[in-house]
Structure 1
Amino acid sequence: MELEGILAIGGKPGLYKLVAQSRGGVIVSSLIDDKKFPVTQASNVSALKDIAIYTYNEEVPLADVFQKIADKENLGQAISHKEKPEALRSYMLEILEDYDQERVYNSDLKKLFQWYNILQENGLVTKAEEKTEEPAEEVSSEEESK
């Protein structure tokens, strides 16, 4: 799943797509209603590709978490972000069983599921690209004996 150019803006609901750079910041387009507006450098803007979820061992990139949800839901909608916190946590355990339950807050889970559903509604949730590995060249026994 590619999250390049998808932004979250502090204090504003939803997700935004980077449209262009301007002198004082960036111009974004809402993924909810497609309205475009400028965002100044003073705003708290986070690129989704740079966000990760805490686990007990490491931080898992948001794209990987979204891919796990997509695989579980067969590219469909996830649980609503309006569900009770217990339901969100239970669902998250099915997706990422070792997520750090003390450092990942209920508000984080609400955002996570809301963002996934926005991406899914906009057709940005796709199947994982299969990584093709080049087969290693085999050395014949004749070449080994040289």
Structure 2
Amino acid sequence: MNLEKILSIAGKPGLFALKVQTRTGFLVESLLDGKKMTVSLKVNVSLLSEISIYTFEGEKPLSEVMRNIAIKEDCGPAISHKEDNAKLIAYFMEILPQYDSERVYPSDIKKVLNWYNILQSKDLVSKEEPIIENAEEVLEKVVEEVVAEKAKAPAKKSPAKKE
């Protein structure tokens, strides 16, 4: 599941797909109603790919949690985020048994389930893990390119001191 261009915007309901980055912000499209709007750089925006859930072993990326829900529901919708807290917590324990219940609140669980259901309604959920074929080769190539670029760049000269 690729969450690289999916945003949550503070103060706005739902999720948004990043369309274009502009000088002054972003052009986004709502996944709820398809309306496009511009968002200033001053607004608090979160990329779903950067969000993690606290567990006792560390943090789990949101994409893994979403994948767990997709596997449990066979890519169908999850329970409603409007269920009572006890049902939400029990459901989340099935999805991510090692989640840290002292640091992950019912409001967080509601957000995750709401986001999952929005993504599922747009056929953006998947049980598959993102595969990067030849990941080591790709990483090696990128490192080689960076090293080559640094070698090509002229050394910065420090200004001569005047006495």
- Figure out how many residues of one structure are paired with residues of the other and give that number: 134
Identity %: 53
How big is the shift at 1:129?
3.9
CA–CA separation in structure 2 for the residues paired with 1:61 and 1:70: 15
Correspondences of 1:15-26 after superposition (within 5 Å):
15-26=15-26
CA–CA separation in structure 2 for the residues paired with 1:14 and 1:131: 28
Secondary structure of 1:46's match? strand
Correspondences of 1:26-37 after superposition (within 5 Å):
26-37=26-37
CA–CA separation in structure 2 for the residues paired with 1:115 and 1:59: 19
Q: Which structure dedicates a bigger proportion of its chain to helix? A: 2
Secondary structure of 1:119's match? helix
Letter in 2 for 1:128: E
Give a deviation string over 1:70-123, Cα, whole Å, max 9, x none. Answer: 000000000100000111000000000010001001111110000000000001
Per the alignment, residue 58 of structure 1 pairs with 58
Correspondences of 1:69-108 after superposition (within 5 Å):
69-108=69-108
Question: Does the 8 A contact of 2:30 with 2:36 survive in 1?
Answer: yes
TM-score by length of 2: 0.79
How big is the shift at 1:40?
0.3
CA–CA separation in structure 2 for the residues paired with 1:9 and 1:132: 29
How big is the shift at 1:127?
2.7
Per the alignment, residue 45 of structure 2 pairs with 45
Q: Which has the larger radius of gyration?
A: 2
Letter in 1 for 2:122: N
How big is the shift at 1:42?
1.0
Secondary structure of 2:29's match? strand
How big is the shift at 1:55?
0.3
Structure 2 residue runs of 5 or longer lacking an equivalent are: 135-163
Per the alignment, residue 154 of structure 2 pairs with none
**Over 3 Å off, 4+ runs:** 129-134
User: Superposition RMSD on alpha carbons, in Å?
Assistant: 1.6
CA–CA separation in structure 2 for the residues paired with 1:132 and 1:16: 25
TM-score by length of 1: 0.88
Letter in 2 for 1:103: R
CA–CA separation in structure 2 for the residues paired with 1:133 and 1:37: 36
